[in-house]
Amino acid sequence: MADTTNKAGAREYAAPARVNLIGEHTDYTGGLVMPMAIGFHTVGTIEPRPDGIASFYSANFNETIEVPIVTLGRNPRGHWSDYPVGVLWSLMQAGYTFSGFNLRLHGDVPVGAGLSSSASIEVATAIALLGFAGQTMPLKEIAVAARRAENEFVGAKSGIMDQFVVAGGVADRAMLLDCRSLEYELLPLPQGVRVVICNSMVKHQVATGEYGGRRDEVEAGQAILRKLRGIDSLRDATVEDLDACATEMGQAVFKRCRHVVTENARVLAARKALNDGDIKGFGNLMIEAHKSFRDDFEASCSEVDTLVEIAIKQAGCFGARITGGGFGGCTVNVVEIEHADTFVETLKREYKLATGIEADCFVCEASDGALALEAKAVAK
């Protein structure tokens, strides 16, 4: 086994960001999602210290937070440190014990863009702490522990998609994840296309109210479905089942639920399209998914809609949609390789003309998740 310590004797661990290709706001009702890991990273460098203190340094904030490990409770500060401290708390809840350490975190994941900077920090922290303690944990348990940190320590009511793909993604593959069973498939991405991410620069944050508000509506709809139809999960419902509950649900809840039900079906159709090499069909599903997110889920915003409208008019663009929790953030676009550069130039120019905002665009490939990165670092 190779030595992956750096010159100062500290070990480095990395976790990527993610983009979701299709399957939005389906994860927390046990539905289907299709994300991939992308090549922005949080890197954690960890070394021991003798005094039982857990020290977390963020290079992005240039700040250190210290907590005594033995007395660590669920005491969030409403601060960046809640993410890594929450992971320490969550792993301790799962029975792991730790001695003192210094964990230094730095990274290049755009914050507030909907590319899951939080799951990247959580998973980098989890992998670093486990490595430091000489422990391993299966993918599912890492994802569950990282999500528990976000839900119960940070207080953001997210699903499990982000933590799962950030930990378990594989280069050149999209991941179809069943968020109920946590079974997954790795799917081939078509040759000859690029995934282009465009940041609208409208800030998105899962920890703030709008995401939670949508989740509450979806869960309220699910409760009505259970009461009136005996169906526990939107995952198992059809649009006809929803129609039968429409009066009791009211218009807003009905539309949120219709988005979830049709989105699960689109993820299955997208899997078939990828397996058949049907990129046109895949792109059309992305466009449908955006419409559903905009009109039924009502969680897009005018800037993101503008990005999508500009994108789908361009040569070589198969599909475009909002990605992530909504209310801003990024679009994800599937574009023919030979058109990718022109696509980015035109999109940036036309978006600036329409909104006055400079968009940031990244041409991406599917990358390794934290576990694959760690396996490769150890094998080197």
Distances (CA, A) of 181 to 31, 140, 268: 9, 10, 15
Q: In angstroms, what is the minimal distance from the CB of 290 to ligand GAF? A: 13
**Which residues does 25 contact at the CB level (< 8 Å), separation at least 6?**
214, 215, 218, 259, 260, 263, 293, 297, 299, 325, 326
The answer to whether residue 28 forms part of the interface with ligand GAF (CB under 6 A) is: yes
CA distance 141 to 171: 21
- The answer to whether 82 contacts ligand GAF (rule: CB under 6 A) is no
Q: Residue 325 Cβ, how far from ligand GAF at the closest point, in Å?
A: 3
Contact window for ligand GAF (CB under 6 A) among 5-13, 25-33, 103-111, 343-351: 25-33
Q: Is 296 in the site for ligand GAF (CB under 6 A)?
A: no
The C-alpha atoms of residue 344 and residue 224 are separated, in whole angstroms, by: 44
Q: Does 16 bind ligand GAF (CB under 6 A)?
A: no
Phi, psi (rounded to 5 degrees) for 114: 80, 20
* Cβ closest to ligand GAF, residue 28 vs residue 343: 28
Exactly one of 82, 122, 162, 288 binds ligand GAF (CB under 6 A); that residue is 162
Across the chain, the runs of DSSP E, i.e. the strands, are: 11-22, 32-48, 53-58, 63-68, 101-107, 173-178, 184-188, 193-199, 317-323, 330-336, 360-364
Q: Supply 313's token pair.
A: 């008019």
Instruction: State yes or no: 115 annotated in a binding site.
Output: yes
Does 369 sit near ligand GAF (CB under 6 A)?
no
Tell whether 99 is in a known binding site: no
Q: Which CB, 156 or 189, lies closer to ligand GAF?
A: 156
For 353, counting Cβ atoms within 10 Å of its Cβ (0-12 exposed, 13-18 middle, 19+ buried), the class is: exposed
Q: Is 178 a catalytic residue?
A: no
Partnered with residue 321 across adjacent β-strands are 332
With CB under 6 A as the contact rule, the residue among 15, 24, 45, 318 that binds ligand GAF is 24
The answer to whether the annotation marks 24 as part of a ligand binding site is yes
Distance CA 137, CA 7 (A): 27
Residues 232-261 that bind ligand GAF (CB under 6 A): none
- The correct pick among 36, 105, 161, 257 for binding ligand GAF (CB under 6 A) is 161
Tally Cβ neighbours within 10 Å of residue 71: 8
- Is position 158 an interface residue for ligand GAF (rule: CB under 6 A)? yes
Task: Exactly one of 82, 162, 296, 368 is catalytic; name it.
Answer: 162
Q: Give the interface size with ligand GAF as a residue count (CB under 6 A).
A: 13
Residue showing tokens 């939107």 = 234
**In angstroms, rounded to a whole number, what is the distance separating the alpha carbons of residues 89 and 155?**
13
Position 56 contacts ligand GAF (CB under 6 A): no
Q: Does 27 bind ligand GAF (CB under 6 A)?
A: yes
Query: According to CB under 6 A, which one of 16, 84, 86, 325 is a site residue for ligand GAF?
Result: 325
Binding flag, residue 25, ligand GAF (CB under 6 A): yes
Contact flags string 188-217 toward ligand GAF, x per CB under 6 A: ------------------x-----------
Asked whether the CA dihedral 188, 190, 192, 195 is positive or negative, the reply is negative
Q: Which stretch binds ligand GAF (CB under 6 A): 24-32, 69-77, 234-242, 253-261?
A: 24-32
Token duo for residue 127: 């992998």
Residues with a catalytic annotation lie at 162
Residues that bind ligand GAF (CB under 6 A): 20, 24-25, 27-28, 116, 158-159, 161-162, 206, 324-325
